[in-house]
């Protein structure tokens, strides 16, 4: 058996950075020379992310070929209102309503390997191959690794195998939630060099020892570096007049991308010349330059109300706890998490309950949209919130009611703040990295056009393309399409795209060890560090 398809995921990769790192001149070689060669010998495309370009819905859309309104994953956490409290639960694979490509390929006899993809724990019960999920504490890796003996196999076959490096190191940065010191930020970048090497070594081992039909690995350090070190990466922000720390940080970041380029080259070389190679990101990246405190704005407009709290230490601690000081008897609309960029409208389920009346929903929402669009820059008059989408327009599907009622897009594409602070809009002390809707999509190998750029693809198209590359039918209920412009005419003539039977329902009875409360809290702290929670 030989590998037919290699997929390399790069969380948060964006052309604005990669194009800069693949350039060379008479004095300098490219930081990523192998990727530069793929530019010339393959096909590339902008990859449109999900309506809210966020890791959970985007990667799940890639893995299912379905939009969030169908697969049901919108955020890192699911929030539910119960009386005067909002309870948060971390999403996992059992919350996904759609079948993944790992399951689709497995039940058709293909062997797959999937490493470090979020929301793959617990793995599909019918998995034919290998899986080590991402976004879980390392203590849960063994139970969620498939097959059951693969974890111990790696400890035997890879002398330096360190499962603690595979999972996020919550202890290392949990004290630096709001703002990293210079030393913390430098350590944050250094931490991802050996961590990414662990994932590479497992992928390399699987290619050599097992040769699965589909070999897939995701490197998430791209996203994590760009969140905390964007200032040192964005070519538009680089000047000659920078200090020693800036120079050291930029060199460290470039070392990471240089190492990543080497990993990509080794995996592609190991896979062999007959393998089709695909690379994609879940979203792109750009610069965020301001903080928008959306709940504070909703309070100004009368939608959200805070409780009057005494001036005590206990009250101050509650202020730092999300929603602890909301007056639920008066609040009709609020934002639950920064990462959602969404507004939840409270509709009374029974007469006398808090929230608006059901028959007032449409008129209430229309007025709320007008008020959101009315938030403007006091100097330029430019709208701070450039787009406001109704959920039926961007999240249509059977899982639509789990989506926020409104989705906002800020003028700098940043995530909102939900804290009770003033002013509503404030310039950041230092620009930072944030998600952009345009990610990257590459293809290389036999049957792929060379030195080609095609029109933008949708993130759901990646899942369909990987199935097609393996010689499988694309399920008729999959929203993703195979971008035929990526392939040569002769390849398509010999391998026409076939539309097949619908996907199977996602099994939600898989066994998984429950996370302890302290582990859940560490996950929350890590999300705070990356700006997804407050």
Instruction: Determine whether domain 5-41+56-283+438-529 maps to CATH 3.40.720.10.
Output: yes
Encoding tokens for residue 384? 């701070």
Contact 74, 96 (CB under 8 A): no
**What is residue 87's predicted lDDT score, i.e. its pLDDT?**
76
pLDDT of 350 > 90? The answer is no
| Closest to 421 (Cα-Cα) out of 347, 513, 325, 278 | 325
* Per-residue pLDDT at 171: 47
Q: What is the pLDDT of residues 497-522, one digit of tens each?
A: 999 999 998 755 454 555 555 555 55
Q: Which pLDDT score is estimated for 529?
A: 54
pLDDT, one tens digit per residue, over 352-408 is: 788 999 999 999 999 999 999 999 999 999 999 999 999 999 999 999 999 999 999
pLDDT digits (tens, 9 = 90+) for 311-349: 666 666 555 555 667 888 899 999 998 999 999 999 998
| 243-271: pLDDT as tens digits | 999 999 999 999 999 999 999 999 999 99
**Distance between CA atoms of residues 435 and 223, nearest Å:** 9
93 Cβ contact partners less than 8 Å away, ≥ 6 residues apart: 100, 119, 120, 121, 122, 123, 124, 133, 506, 510
Over range 180-189, report the average pLDDT.
Answer: 83
When mean pLDDT is compared over 26-35, 74-83, 110-119, 306-315, the highest value belongs to 110-119
Question: Does position 527 have pLDDT exceeding 70, yes or no?
Answer: no
pLDDT at 239: 87
pLDDT tens for residues 108-143? 999 999 999 999 999 999 999 999 999 888 788 899
Please tell me the distance from the alpha carbon of residue 508 to that of residue 519, in angstroms, as a whole number. Answer: 22
Model pLDDT, residue 25:
67
Any idea where the domains of the chain sit in the sequence? 5-41+56-283+438-529, 290-431
The mean pLDDT value of the chain amounts to: 90
pLDDT at 281 over 90: yes
Q: What pLDDT score was predicted for residue 176?
A: 34
pLDDT number for residue 174: 39
Entry pTM: 0.92
- State yes or no: pLDDT of 177 exceeds 70: no
Confidence of residue 172 (pLDDT cuts 50, 70, 90): very low
Pick from 50, 54, 52: nearest CA to 409: 52
For residue 99, pLDDT beyond 80:
yes
């Amino acid at each position: 058996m030989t590998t037919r398809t290699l997929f390399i995921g790069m969380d948060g990769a964006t052309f604005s950075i990669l194009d800069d790192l693949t350039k060379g001149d008479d004095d300098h070689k490219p930081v990523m020379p192998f990727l530069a060669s793929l530019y010339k010998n393959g096909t590339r495309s902008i990859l449109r992310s999900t309506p809210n370009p966020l890791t959970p819905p985007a990667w799940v859309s890639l893995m299912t070929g379905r939009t969030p309104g169908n697969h049901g994953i919108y955020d890192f956490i699911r929030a539910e209102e119960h009386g005067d409290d909002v309870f948060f639960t971390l999403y996992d694979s059992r919350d996904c309503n759609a079948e993944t490509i790992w399951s689709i390929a497995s039940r058709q006899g293909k062997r797959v390997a999937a490493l470090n993809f979020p929301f793959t724990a617990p793995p599909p019960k019918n998995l034919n191959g290998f899986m080590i999920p991402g976004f879980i504490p390392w203590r849960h890796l063994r139970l969620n690794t498939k097959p059951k003996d693969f974890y111990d196999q790696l400890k035997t076959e890879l002398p330096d195998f360190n499962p603690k490096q595979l999972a996020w190191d919550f202890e290392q940065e949990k004290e630096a939630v709001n703002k990293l010191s210079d030393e913390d930020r430098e350590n944050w970048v250094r931490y991802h060099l050996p961590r990414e090497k662990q994932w590479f070594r497992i992928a390399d081992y699987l290619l050599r020892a097992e040769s699965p039909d589909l070999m897939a690995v995701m490197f998430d350090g791209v996203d994590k570096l760009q969140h905390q070190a964007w200032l040192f990466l964005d070519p538009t922000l680089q000047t000659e007049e920078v200090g020693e720390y800036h120079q050291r940080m930029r060199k460290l970041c470039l070392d990471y991308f240089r190492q990543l380029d080497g990993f990509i080259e080794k995996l592609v070389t190991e896979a062999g010349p007959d393998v089709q190679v695909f690379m994609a990101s879940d979203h792109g990246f750009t610069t965020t330059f301001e903080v928008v405190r959306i709940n504070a704005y909703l309070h100004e407009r009368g939608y959200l109300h805070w409780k009057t709290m005494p001036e005590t230490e206990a009250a101050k601690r509650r202020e730092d706890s999300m929603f602890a000081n909301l007056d639920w008897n008066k609040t009709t609309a609020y934002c639950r998490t920064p990462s959602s960029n969404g507004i939840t409208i409270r509709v009374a389920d029974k007469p006398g309950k808090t929230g608006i009346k059901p028959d007032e929903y449409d008129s209430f929402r229309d007025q709320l949209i007008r008020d959101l669009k009315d938030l403007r820059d006091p100097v330029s008059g430019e709208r701070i919130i450039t787009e406001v989408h109704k959920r039926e327009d961007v999240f249509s599907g059977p899982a639509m009611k789990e989506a926020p009622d409104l989705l906002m897009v800020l003028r700098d594409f940043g995530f909102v703040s939900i804290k009770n602070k003033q002013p509503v809009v404030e310039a950041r002390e230092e620009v930072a990295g944030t998600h952009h809707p345009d990610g990257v999509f590459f293809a290389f190998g036999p049957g792929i056009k060379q030195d080609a750029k095609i029109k933008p693809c949708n993130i759901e198209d990646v899942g369909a393309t990987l199935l097609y590359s393996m010689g499988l039918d694309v399920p008729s209920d999959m929203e993703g399409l195979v971008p035929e412009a990526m392939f040569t005419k002769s390849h398509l003539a010999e391998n026409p795209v076939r539309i097949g039977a619908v996907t199977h329902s996602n099994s939600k009875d898989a066994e998984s060890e429950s996370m302890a409360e302290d582990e859940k809290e560490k996950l929350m702290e890590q999300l705070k560090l990356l700006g997804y929670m407050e």
